[in-house]
């Protein structure tokens, strides 16, 4: 199953979104990577790397950043790891954080591949609320 890493500036936001996805798409492995190592707002490449390792179940890992520098941090991790680190396929989604996480979690929970999980997250951008 595809794993999902939620990269946020806030540990609480990443943990809350992961909890929400877990309740909606129970079978998905969603790992938060929020805040810095010392609990401040920001992003941490070390936390992202640890989350990737935790989320990896062999079918790839989707990284979903919240905004700004979390995208830069996720891209830095991807650049450092290269295209295929230790056999883990990685993708970065350009998607709304919460809606994209839910859509990706649902897709992952039904066994979609990495490309389909990323596509589901990105298509959530077009979901209207009203």
CB 29 within 8 Å of CB 57: yes
1-35 tens-digit pLDDT: 999 999 999 999 999 999 999 999 988 999 999 99
Residue 9 annotated among the catalytic residues of the structure:
yes
Given the residues 8, 9, 74, 120, select the one marked as catalytic: 9
What is the pLDDT at residue 86? 54
Q: For residue 86, what are its two tokens?
A: 């230790």
Q: Which residue has the tokens 């589901």?
A: 120
Residue 103: phi, psi to the nearest 5? -60, -45
pLDDT in 10s for each residue of the chain, 130 residues: 999 999 999 999 999 999 999 999 988 999 999 999 898 999 999 999 999 999 999 999 999 999 989 999 999 999 988 755 555 699 999 999 999 999 999 999 999 999 999 999 999 999 888 9
**pTM surpassing 0.95?**
no
């Amino acid at each position: 199953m595809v794993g999902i890493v939620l990269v946020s500036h806030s540990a609480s936001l990443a943990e809350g979104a992961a909890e929400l996805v877990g309740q909606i798409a129970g079978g998905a492995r969603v790992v938060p990577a929020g805040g810095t190592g010392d609990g401040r707002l920001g992003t941490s490449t070390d936390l992202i790397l640890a989350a990737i390792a935790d989320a990896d179940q062999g079918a790839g890992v989707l990284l979903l950043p919240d905004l700004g520098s979390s995208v830069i941090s996720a891209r830095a991790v991807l650049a450092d790891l290269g295209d295929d680190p230790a056999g883990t396929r990685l993708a970065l989604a350009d998607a709304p954080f919460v809606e994209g996480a839910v859509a990706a979690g649902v897709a992952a929970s039904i066994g979609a591949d990495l490309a389909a999980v990323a596509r589901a997250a990105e298509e959530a951008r077009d979901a209207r609320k009203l």
